Structure formats: structure tokens, C-alpha cells
Amino acid sequence: MANQTILIRKDTPGVILERYSVDENPDIRLQLASHENASADILRKLAKDLDKRVRLAVAENTNTKDDILVSFDEGRRVLSRRTNLPPNVLSILAADSDCQNRLRAARDPLTPEEALRQLAKDDDKNVRLAIANNPNSSPKVLSEPGLLEFQICEDDAVRVLGFQICEDDTIRVALAKHANTPEEILVKLSSTSDQAVKLEVARNPNSPARVLSVLGGSCYGSDDKDLCQALAHNKNTPENILFELAKTSDLALQCAIARQPNIPHHIVKSYSVETRISLAQNGEISVETLMFMSTDENPIVRISTIKNPNITSQILDKLSTDENKEIRKLVAENNKASPDALRRLSKDTNPDIRSALLENFNVTADIIEKLACDNLADIRRQVAQNINTQPKTIALLSTDNDANVRIAAVANSNIAPELLSNLMWDPCVEVRVAIASNCRTPLTALKLLAKDDSDIVRKAVEKNSIYIMYQSWSSKTLWTGA
């Protein structure tokens, strides 16, 4: 009992602790195995203790080093629950008799390749499955024959392509998914009757063309939409397979094919008009395909390409010279159109297209200035209304022979105040009303407009906030006698 009391103390000298490591009382050795000051030599000795409780205490002691833990069963179990294990420890766990320890090593991406190759032959299916799912499993590891040599099921086991198959074959599915699965294994897997395996092979971005050709042959005329979709999405699917798949009436499948970056143009051309229209608007098709569709013989298809969110300025440049005026108008309105395309359209003979330019946020000052001299008054009016129109252009339009153009000019926030004073004698009442309503009009001009012959001009002045402030200030000045 005295010994137990000494051991409980934290300041027990190391010499005393060493003495109790060989004590006949297992309870004393148990306390020592948990002691925070137990030395590495003491813990290494107790790791071999016949009492399981003592060995467990050594394993749980936070001071026990990895080189001690790997030397006994309980220690290796504790290690297997930890993260960030070094490769040498993982190699030891990979060779352990305990299946859970081997499973831990099989799942770790840091386990050395040689250890993974041994685990690929493991008798336990879960260990082999972990190898097939390990992102660090190399082609050599995944090529290990043991990974596919499954134990025969008690019922209905069959032999296909030289390896045995059990009904619940998750390992083959994992191999079909893996980025490092060698081509020869994918070839075998593509010929299986298991649809789940074939689907994952079709989805694997590393599946070569010859593998996908095998899968494509089994896809024709079948109802397996998932397999067809996987082939349509895979960048390695051969052209002849894509062409056959494109014959489907399934729009989703056709869209998937059209998203291929290097899809042959004759495949897209083989689609119906309705399908091409839908594809042209699909934001997931490649730019190359979109460029091709912008040359489609059907104008509605070309219009649809302009509505595509991924339309490029290069495609818009090409469409800016299209024979269809609706297409040119849509280009004029598109904010992705280049300045060169917009300048080209500013010379268009169709007034609707020149008008559409002024709705484009990216229209440049030189284009606006050019349109200010347009022969159509309605376009000049739009220029006068545009907030991006330069003051000098506004000044030019403020003297336009069309009253509506002058009204728009004097209402523009970019007009110079002194110009408003000069224009307040405009013969058109509506122009003078616009000047009277503008808060940039100088007070001296407003005072004169307040005496205008037109009643509606005078009323407009009375509603002008600058004039209202002036009137209020004048009233207060008179009232106070200031």
C-alpha cells in the first residue's frame, strides 16, 4: 500500500519509478504505465507486460513514442486512430495481423507504394476496396492481380475475363473510377456485364478512346441514358461514337455532346433546327461550337448565339455584318460588342440599329458624336438624352432645328448652365418649359422666365427647387427687414 502511495505522487523520483517497473503487483505497474514521468525505457518494458491492462495504459500514455507503440498490439491500435502518421509507421500497420490496422494503412494517402501493393493482395475485401479508393494508389498498385482476384461467393460465382466476380463488387466500381487505373484494367472493366462498372469507366476522364468505343457499341439502341450521358461528356469519346449518340432525340444528351470542345461541326449540323436553337443558348457549350453556330444558315439559330451568356466579342464582330437586321440590332445592344463593331454599326443604313447603339453602355464618345449629326431627328434626340454625351455635343444639339432634340438637350444634366441662359428665348414653349424645370438653370434666367408670356413656363419656374429656395429666402429677408 505504501508503494501505491509513492507511485501516485507526481514528484516520485525516476529511480523509484524504475524499481516499480518490475514490481510483482500488477496494480502498481498499471499506475506506473499511466504516470506522466515514466521514462521511455520504463514504457518500453511495460509494453511487453503480461497484464493487458498495463499494456493498454502504456498505449494510452501520451508520452509513449511511436517506436514503442508499433512494438505491441495495443499500441498499434492506438496509432491507427491517429491522423498524420509517418510513412514508416503506416508500413508497419500495413503488415499487421489486425485487419483494422491494415485498413487504416490502406486508406492513408501517405502509405508507401510497396505497402499498398501488399495490401492490394489482402484477404479482406474492405482492405482491397480501400486500396482501390486510395487517391495515392499508383498504376502499379492498381494493376496487382490480387486486387481483382476475389474470393468466390458461396452462390452464383462466375468467372469473366480471367477474374472472379461476386455480386457485390464495389472494388471494380472503385477501380473504374480511379484516376490511376491502367488502360489494360479499364479495357477489361469495359467488357463486364455490370452496368455500374461500365458507367464509371465511361465517366473516367482517363479512359482511352478504344475503351469508350467498346462502351459506345453497347450503348446504341439501349435505354441506359446514364451511360450515354457519360460517353457524351467524356472528352476522349471518339467522333464516330458521338455521331451515333447525336442521332438521339434526347435534348439533354445532344447538349452534352455539343459541350465537347472539339466536337466535329457536321455533328452539330445534323441536329434539328429546334435543337440547334436550344444549343445556341446553352451556356455550357464550348466557344468553338458557339462560333460555328453563329454561321448557321437559320437566322433564329444565329440570334440565339447572341443570347448565349458566353458570347465573345470575336463572334459579335462577325455577326455585326450579318445580312439579318435583327441580328445586327442585337449586336448593337450587346455590351460585349467591341468598339470596332459598334463603329461599324453606327454607319448602318437601318435607323433601328443606329438607335440601338445608344442603349449600349459601352458606346464610345466618338460614336455618340457621330450620331449627333444623324439625318434622323429621333436619333439625334436620343443622343441629346444620353448621359454619356459630351457637353460640346449637347451644345450643338441645343440649337438643333428639331424642337424635340432641343428639349432633350436642355434637360441633359451635362449641359452648361450659361448655355441654358442663352437658350431661354427659344421660340418653342416646350423648350422654355424644359429650361425652366432644369435645376442647373441660373437664377437670373429663372427670374426672367418667371415673367414669360406662357403660363406653363411660369408654372414650371414656380416648381423649380432653386426658384422655390430663392422665393423663400426673399420672403424671410422682407419679413426681418434685413
Q: Report DSSP letters for 29-71, one per residue.
A: HHHHHH-TT--HHHHHHHTT-S-HHHHHHHHH-TT--HHHHTT
Element (H, E) at 159: strand 158-160
In a domain, 28, yes or no: yes
Higher pLDDT, 86 or 151: 86
- Where do we find the cell 490511376? 180
In a domain, 20, yes or no: yes
Q: What is the largest CA-CA distance in the chain?
A: 123
Please answer whether residues 120 and 144 qualify as being in contact, where contact means their C-beta atoms are separated by less than 8 angstroms: yes
Among left, alpha and beta (phi > 0; psi -120 to 50; other), residue 84 is: left
In a domain, 44, yes or no: yes
Determine which of 7-16, 179-188, 267-276 has the lowest per-residue pLDDT on average: 7-16
Backbone torsions φ then ψ of 163, nearest 5 degrees: -135, 155
Domain ranges, residue 44 = 1-82
Q: Report DSSP letters for 66-121, one per residue.
A: HHHHTTSHHHHHHHHT-SS--HHHHHHHHT-SSHHHHHHHHH-TTS-HHHHHHHTT
Domain count, the chain: 1
pLDDT score, position 275: 84
pLDDT digits (tens, 9 = 90+) for 209-255: 999 998 887 776 566 788 999 998 898 999 888 888 888 777 788 87
Determine which of 112-116, 266-270, 384-388, 468-472 has the lowest per-residue pLDDT on average: 266-270
- For residue 4, the Cα-to-chain-centroid distance in whole angstroms is 64
pLDDT digits (tens, 9 = 90+) for 191-207: 888 889 999 999 999 99
In a domain, 19, yes or no: yes
pLDDT score, position 18: 87
